[in-house]
Amino acid sequence: MPVPADLVFAAANAETLREIGSWDGFRPATFAASDFPVDVVRFERSSSPPVVVSRARRADTLKALPVGLRDRALAAFARFEGPSRFLALPAGRRLDLSRAPIVMGVVNVTPDSFSDAGLYLDPRRAAARALEMFEGGAAIVDVGGESTRPSSYGDAAPVSAAEEIERVLPVIEAIRRETGRPVSIDTRKEEVARAALGAGADLVNDVSALRHDARMASTLAEAGAALLLMHMKGDDPRTMQADTAYVHPVADIASELAAAATKALDAGVLPDRIAVDPGFGFGKSAEGNLVLLRHVGAFRSLGFPVAVGASRKGFVRRFSGVGEDASSADRLPGSLAAVGAARARGAAIVRVHDVPETVRFLRMHDAIDLDALGRSEEALR
């Protein structure tokens, strides 16, 4: 069964509604201020225009739709609103997503990553960095041995599977000697994934969403590993920025992620092990990244936990107003704003380089929101 990509977009005001309508060339009827917030349901591969549903009158509006569309809309709302409670990991373990977003810390074991290049090439330093991230509140640490930076940072060097394994394996083994906490391997290569899972990794973060290596899905299914499917335009990080045009800036990406999830399910990966990520910076214009972040909640309509990785990226640097050679510290405020946006839109996972800062930022958000609901500090623990 293909994963449906009928999408729900939330619009808090008329301006956002117009933006959503513009992508399909439809002009929504005029809604009174009191009708907001509204949701827009967009049916994939359908000649029916998107349907605008005032949240206060959802049942009535849906009742007026033809049965087929009504059922599709109801199913899309159920996926959009159904919270992702956990992501299943091998050996009956789980990543708890009930207090989302959880923080995924990034450890780049590479000489050429756009961020932290060369800092953690020594496996002991990389493992120590991972343990420090767990201490700082990371729920999972993502270890990567290949840079997928865009060519604006200078072409990343191609890495063989053997070399990638040589970089990441000692790190995963060293982490495993110290802790059983969840570990992710950031790779597109099946051999690397297999080696990492053998050394105790729990999740494979595939930036090619299963397109790079045809054997990946069955290896994951066999291992019972979790899978993070990330969208990239094209199939080569070195050329992905050459064409950043989309027919629909959100639905094109959602459709490809739905197809990737279908491929994973067909290979035997269980649905509770899959998460999706629109892939900020991977074949997206600077403004396109903003649109994606503004509407990242729509990806929840796919029915899987949504991950957001905007940390320190070029568009964050640019729109937060710091220069091209801005330090990590100078990129942090913009990165935190992106985390705040992801949180507000229901992202389940944020992938970041600055773990303790992000954890404190999220803790403060939780404190404010829980306080608003009149809950005591006890509820925070």
Task: Write out the residues near ligand HH2 by the rule CB under 6 A.
Answer: 106, 108, 110, 113-115, 144, 147-149, 186, 205, 207, 228, 230, 277, 279-280, 307, 309, 351
Could you identify the residue written with the tokens 């000489």? 111
Query: Any catalytic annotation for residue 313?
Result: yes
Distance of CA 212 to the CA centre of its chain: 19
Which listed residue (167, 313, 317, 343) is catalytic?
313
Helix axes 216-223 and 190-198, enclosed angle (nearest 10): 10
CB of residue 51 vs ligand HH2: minimum separation in angstroms? 31
Residue number, 20 or 258, with CB nearest to ligand HH2: 258
Helix axes 251-266 and 216-223, enclosed angle (nearest 10): 60
Residue number, 42 or 189, with CB nearest to ligand HH2: 189
Using only the alpha carbons of the chain, give its radius of gyration: 20
CB of residue 311 vs ligand HH2: minimum separation in angstroms? 7
Q: What share of the chain is helix, strand, coil (3-state, %, to 5)?
A: 45, 15, 40
Could you identify the residue written with the tokens 């117009």? 18
CB of residue 156 vs ligand HH2: minimum separation in angstroms? 6
CB atoms within 10 A of CB 37: 14
CA–CA distance, 265 with 271 (Å, rounded to integer): 7
Query: Any catalytic annotation for residue 351?
Result: yes
Q: Which helix (H) or strand (E) holds 141?
A: strand 140-144
CB of residue 7 vs ligand HH2: minimum separation in angstroms? 20
**Which residue is closest to ligand HH2 by CB?**
309
Three-class SS state of 100: coil
What type of residue sits at position 329? A
CB of residue 104 vs ligand HH2: minimum separation in angstroms? 8
Residue number, 72 or 312, with CB nearest to ligand HH2: 312
Strand pairing category for 203-206 and 226-230: parallel
CA–CA distance, 309 with 338 (Å, rounded to integer): 9
Which listed residue (42, 263, 312, 351) is catalytic?
351
Token code pair at residue 23: 């992508």
Residue number, 303 or 309, with CB nearest to ligand HH2: 309
Catalytic annotation, residues? 313, 351
